[in-house]
Structure 1
């Protein structure tokens, strides 16, 4: 019979000591004065939560910190993000810090520690830096503790059984299309003169062979090192789909629920991009900025850099000029890096379960 996963993790007392060492020793230091934008009642409740924590009344502190989080969450989600005052983000971060610390007090079981880590991640994503990025330090301690506390037979989130695959996935005949040029290990000067400055796409080979991810990364590896971390995720194949949304979930949840072969809209960015393929293959088409009219961009400002055309199944009655638009294409394989110049329209479709890493710069 599997062990009860609510058992205290090994080293629970060591976890508390490690966390307490990161926290300021007094309630005044734990929650300093907040800005005038914070309502007095909320500031008072937050100070009371700090006092309860320092007084060892953890369950009462947990309730108070959750009330602070509920109220500040409403402030964070009312109106545009740019209009959210930093003081409310600090309030949310302090609430997350207190709640996470309370969750790890007793009894130190795996679900409580995992929830504390989720709370820290929420504070890192939605809050502001406090006490020298203490939430980042607390999250690192919690994650290390969770990984070291695994026990044989314990109820754990099981690794995904998804495998890289191409069954049922159509592979384009790129031999009949105009290929993206390739270059192996060019000098920086050559790359800058021949491709960066004139804005010409190119596939760079051999430039990331030394990256550890090229040999380490797999679904199992990513779940092992980051499966319990909460991250922002875009759900849906295309920005223009009605069911497209943004949400927060753990890496494990994303892999088990949403990771699948997908295509994207065709769109462009106002920055240069290096698109580094790590796992699996992707089919990519590139259209020059000069072909923008033939890509039929959406007329709204929000989607002005996104095409209305379904690239591999275009409606040529609605978008007749698209048929004549020239493009470059490639199948990007692991270890290859595609340089996409600024404002180049690009369409991407995964041929296998795949991971890529992108860098952007102006």
Structure 2
């Protein structure tokens, strides 16, 4: 696509120019003045002055503000300013070059993804970054120097799952009930209203994801150049756990298919708001229409994508949860909220929803009451989904390369 046409296409996604221009006001006067100069450059296609240094200084300042104190305490206006500055940087990057090469579009996509991940939607331009990223991603796929990818088999060898499966088989517990596509009334009366877990079969066979996502080349084509957060380490309660931003392509190459010394897990990430093309491959299960309170709204949808042996330690969530297995197999151990005291939750507020005890390796001397807890067991195969009621403890292990989608709602 011709250079100026590409820029004009991105600018066309702006619904309210004044909102973007004024987004940095009130944060820092010097930073705001710099941003205004950058924004004026964005709107003047004839101006050839490079403003990359200036817009990066704005983003550096805002990035420092985002990382001061706890994330929940970051003012919303700072996050919105980061969104606007990320859009401005994208336009400025494109203005500094005469041709939109593969590398230039990759740099723009990374800038937009950082804005999506760290920023916050603007009121009148809520989808501006997402729309720009979708548009540029399609342009990238059409460039002749896109890396070709080879279709890859994603099934793990049986021997890779045996040690975990044997431990699971030997663990005492009750098997979670299974029903094939129960009616909404049956699900509500027997499980949802009583807050009892249930495995459901034959409910998502119409999902395109079930046939598309096991072919990793499809994921690479749709989202390979997008930046995502990846958890590095055995699990989030481990002292060596950390998060790292990388392209989905690098995650698949180094952790999903590679033989890295560390476990990498794209976990609890709203991948589908970031990349709407993948959202088109799934549908909200009808069971999510039931609610514990008088409110409407879409459930929180998160992706869980990783190699075999990823672990979510024993924990509970505050909302109803339907966990759908797209490919691969996961094993789950659950405990009722009434057994909470036997599971020894961490005392810190940050991990108060996470148990100290490992159900596969319980320390009887340190956690003597754990023997009183009653386990529920579930093997979740592709195309199946598990209803996990609020406050139910669950430990999750991937036996194969795996992709799951969770739906959380009240």
Normalised to the residue count of structure 1, the TM-score between the two structures is: 0.87
Residue number among 114, 128, 138 corresponding to 1:134 in the alignment: 128
Correspondence for 1:164: 155
What CA deviation, in whole Å up to 9, does each residue of 1:90-113 have, x standing for no partner?
332222112111222322110110
Alignment of 1:63 onto 2:63:
no
Choose from 260, 268, 277 the match for 2:307: 260
> What's the counterpart of residue 268 of structure 2?
none
Query: What is the RMSD computed on CA atoms of the aligned residues?
Result: 2.5
Q: Deviations over 1:26-74 (max 9, x none)?
A: xx84853356532211111111112333444455222211111111111
Check whether the contact 2:21–2:39 (CA below 8 A) recurs between aligned residues. no
Match of 1:334 in 2: 382
Structure 2 spans left out of the alignment, 5+ residues: 255-263, 265-305
The alpha carbon displacement at 1:263 in A equals 1.9
Q: Can you list the C-alpha shifts for 1:307-355, whole angstroms capped at 9, x where unaligned?
A: 1112212222222222342211121100111111111111111111111
> In the alignment, does 2:39 pair up with 1:45?
no
Q: Counterpart in 1 of 2:92?
A: 102
Secondary structure of 2:222's counterpart equals helix
Give the structure 2 partner of residue 224 of structure 1: 221
Q: What's the offset of the Cα at 1:82?
A: 3.4
Distance 1:159 1:47, change over 3 A: farther
Q: Give the aligned length.
A: 348
Q: Write out the 4+ residue segments of structure 1 that deviate beyond 4 Å after TM superposition.
A: 10-14, 28-31, 157-162
Higher mean C-alpha deviation, range 61-70 or range 249-258? 249-258
CA contact (8 A) 1:174 1:329 kept: no
Q: Which residue of 1 aligns with 2:193?
A: 197
- Structure 1 window deviating more from structure 2 (166-175 vs 259-268): it is 166-175
Give 1:162 deviation, angstroms. Answer: 7.2
Match of residue 145 from structure 1? 139
Moved more, 13-22 or 293-302: 13-22
Pair 1:47–1:24, CA change in 2 (3 A): farther
